[in-house]
A and B are shown apart, each in its own frame.
Chain A
Amino acid sequence: MANMINYGIDLGTTNSLIAKFNKGVVEVLRNPNGFKDTLPSVVAFRNDRILLGDQARTYAERDPLSVGSRFKRKMGTTESLPIKSLGQLKTPTELSALVLQELKTFVQTGEVLESVVITIPACFDMPQRIATEEAAHKAGFKQVVLLNEPIAASLAYANKEKNIDLNNSQWIVYDLGGGTFDVALVRIVEGELKVVDHEGDNFLGGSDFDALIVEKLITPQLEKRGKFTDLLAEMKSANGKYNRLWHTLLHLAEDAKIELSNRSSAEIDLGLRNVEDENGKAITDAIQITRSEFEGLIKDSVDRTAEMLRTILTRNSLRPQDLKFVLMVGGQTYTPFVRERIKELLGIPVNFGSIDPTNAIAVGAAYFAATKEVGASEKTVAKSNTATALKIRVACKAASQEKDELFAAKVEGDTAGMFYRIKREDGGFDTGLKKLEARISEDLPLQADSYNIFSFSVFDAKNNLVPTGVDSIQIAQGKYGVAGQMLPHDICLVTDDLSTGDTKLRTLYARNTLTGLKKTSVEASRTILKGSDDVIRIMVVEGAANAHASANTPIGILEITGKQLTRDVHKGTSIDLTFDMSESQILKVGAHLDATGQDFADVFTPNYRNVSIKTLQAEIQALDKRIESEIDDAEANKNAEVVGELIALRSVVEELQGQSMLLVIDDTTDARYQLDGQKRKVAQQVHALTAGKHMDRLKSEYQELKREVIQVVSEHGNDKERHQLNEVFALEHTFTTSSNPQKITEYISRLRRISFQVLRRTPEFLTGWFEHLQTKRSTFNDPVQAKSLIEAGKRHIAEQDYDHLAEVNMRLNDLLPHSEQTDPKTLPFITGIN
């Protein structure tokens, strides 16, 4: 169909696929070079040639430094792959772009592909999503729609199993692929598919199983057969003596793993591999691996996936029997143990076999692409026989549960003497020629459970066809639509917390809600002078809204510097922010400064994650220390349950610490990302365990402050301040009963502000502050002005003119360098907004 995207791509860690929707049927396109559907996601650079797929895989063993593979897991990170033959680095985005370009060649119809749906794991964070979109643009796609893999899989299943009524039911999509694991709770309500909740691990998949086979089964066997010193480290390090062997063994392990799906044992034949120990002794044996050894190896990982599945059920108050089934996709679900273990642990049917687990995602992506229009719906095309142009804007649902669907169009231009005609392609419906007017609408009857394709034609008075750019309308009847893409994490704005001198988070989009346009207002937390180097930072992070900004993934920063300003922006000036998140979850941010009338905008550029091994080690150590002190605290409070759970977490962290210490600085595996992910999870659990304690602390702080402020306001306050105080008390029940520490912190800072507002008028405070400012005499930016202000201040004290003394204090304070300013309202400057 000319107007629908129709093409879907599964850009996988180990293999990628492309599928095309055509008149109700999805075809997975053949790899013209491989006689199979998949393209190994491997790129090789040899003799000024770029090789893709199987050809590249050939050289992965012998020339690993010229070959990039398994790079999807590094998308959105700063890590690049060194390519020896080029003498340069290639980013995971560049390598993915090459894979996408190669997939384009699977299309043999001569079509030029500019629009595409690309699937990504639901747990991909913002930098990873942006990196994927960037790869697609590099590959020449102009329009990219990202789709979560669990939704794609569900669409493939829903379209295949037409006789099963999925309406008002829910199920789990269990997707264990080459490099990522996703588990999602999917629900169909009124014909719309929704991902209700999901969990996942970006660093758990089949290639980890391959690595486990090499590490735990093959390496010990090699060490028995020959003399090796620190073989594992030598294999994993980019400069290690046995780095090449690592790549080789990974491929052999993958083959053995596939064989173990059907057989009870498999062999790793080293006969052709030229493995020599340190004394030059060749090892040519065949190493046997049994299915039970392999199952023992992956049991913990599979149980971890089951644990994530259970987390979803608990979070949504569901029992396993509330699910219709578990839909298994991803190549790794071919392993019988994975299916059996999940079935055994949950006691619910595991659906496997009705769809092909290796291509289900690409197939689903193509079904989704069939409901997505190419580009904008507005097209302007010159009329064939006149100089005027017709502009037609159409509106029609792409998927429907109804027997007919309304088609509406708005036509701009000269329509005099023109007609239109709509026909259904199966020959069952024809509007006949109808007069073309500025607004047209038609009820289009739909064939049940099929893709209805209508042609839309415009004719002039002589019945000549007039091209309009809108030549077809496609409506899927009875098919399940996609309700929208739920967000995997909270998306928050970082603002300054004036009461603590730290930052706090303001939720822009909550987890599991839909994207769209959001507007919010903030205030400048300090004055930014025109022409200065001061900066307002609009920082957006992704992660839990109740955690600290540093525990979350930064998405991007829009910086506005003093140099860009046309006027000074004073403290307290409001700044209007607009956030627009697309369906692909790419965030556009806009800021309007009231003070200057200026607008600033940016699409957040990828803020690639860089996990340095040293930082990782330091962070794990810091987490360990924090748990230690939390244990002491919990012991002091005799909270045995929390102590027990913290001790369990400490042992996890100690294990992580051990693993991180074993990493060599130039480690080429994914270990650092896996450890980083596990560290974040532990940190979140610690946060959840201790949040109650912090809340108790904040509540008592609030009560204490409340007593002080009541006294201050009753002694020195005015009506306005008494009113402000009563406003806080009226809302007291909302924040003291909330589990969100930021809410109560916000009200604590409001109380502090009221208190300060009152105190700053008292003669004692103003005189004391003036004396304090005089001690800073040597640091004032303008000593002459400061001197005259001090003289004025002394005079005001003598005259007991405290209003004017307050002004002098403020002006003197403004003359201090930022670091010296003592106004409690001027706290460490982090974002410049609050």
Chain B
Amino acid sequence: MKLTHDIPKSLLNVLNQLYELEQKIKRHGDSANLERNITRMKSAFEELSSESGLFYEDPMGQPFKETRTDVDATISGTSTENLFVVEVIKPIIRVGNRKYNQVVQKGIVVVESK
């Protein structure tokens, strides 16, 4: 399977919006039961082709150090050691399937020392 980086930016934008929707529902509740629609849309992206799809990963709470290159981090606080993701501005987007994939959008995150 050939994984390509050339994913149209508009597709990545839609996935970013989907992620924000999901986060808002988590924070403010889902009175209209939108989660089901979001799940379907996410599945549709994962099944873009028989071999390869797009999906995002939420790095919230994950550890961060300088060798990590799937996120662009801004460090909050004074310490630069023992860092964890405390805020996600954009999620990590990957192309492929869950077993074999490649990052196509780095996550934009804020990290802080615990």
Contact = CB atoms under 8 A, between A and B. Distances in A.
Interface stretch (B35-43, B54-62, B65-73): B65-73
Contact of B106 (A30, A35, A63): A35
Nearest to A58: B73
21 contacts: A30-B5, A34-B106, A35-B103, A44-B66, A49-B66, A49-B67, A51-B66, A54-B69, A54-B106, A55-B69, A58-B73, A58-B74, A59-B66, A59-B75, A61-B75, A62-B78, A62-B80, A63-B80, A272-B76, A272-B87, A272-B110
A46 B104 contact: no
B105 interface: yes
B8 interface: no
A342 B26 CA distance: 49
Interface bin, chain A: 10 to 19
Contact of B74 (A34, A47, A51, A272): A272
A274 interface: yes
Contact of A274 (B67, B73, B78, B103): B78
Q: Interface of chain B, helix or strand or loop or mixed?
A: strand
Given A54-B106, A62-B75, 9 more contacts: A35-B104, A51-B66, A54-B69, A62-B78, A272-B74, A272-B87, A272-B110, A274-B76, A274-B78
A33 interface: yes
Interface of B: 5, 66-67, 69, 72-78, 80, 87, 103-106, 110
Contacts of B73: 58
What are the 9 A-B residue pairs with the smallest beta carbon separation, nearest first? A62-B75, A33-B69, A272-B76, A58-B73, A62-B80, A63-B80, A54-B72, A46-B66, A51-B66
Contacts of A30: 5
Nearest to B93: A35
B11 to A, nearest CB: 14
A15 to B, nearest CB: 14
Contacts of A49: 66-67
Interface of A: 30, 33-35, 44, 46-47, 49, 51, 54-55, 57-59, 61-63, 272, 274
A216 B106 CA distance: 33
Contacts of A33: 69
Nearest to B64: A58
Contacts of B76: 272, 274
Contacts of B110: 272
A274 B76 CA distance: 8
B66 A55 contact: yes
Nearest to A56: B66
A602 B101 CA distance: 55
A59 B77 contact: no
Nearest to A33: B69
Residue of A34, A54, A58, A272 with most partner-chain B CB within 10 A: A58
Contacts of A47: 66
Nearest to A251: B74
Nearest to A30: B5
Contacts of B72: 54, 57-58
A35 B77 CA distance: 28
Contacts of B105: 35
B62 to A, nearest CB: 15
A656 B95 CA distance: 55
Residue of A44, A49, A59, A272 with most partner-chain B CB within 10 A: A272
Contacts of A63: 80
A54 B70 CA distance: 11
A49 B68 CA distance: 13
Residue of B76, B87, B103, B104 with most partner-chain A CB within 10 A: B76
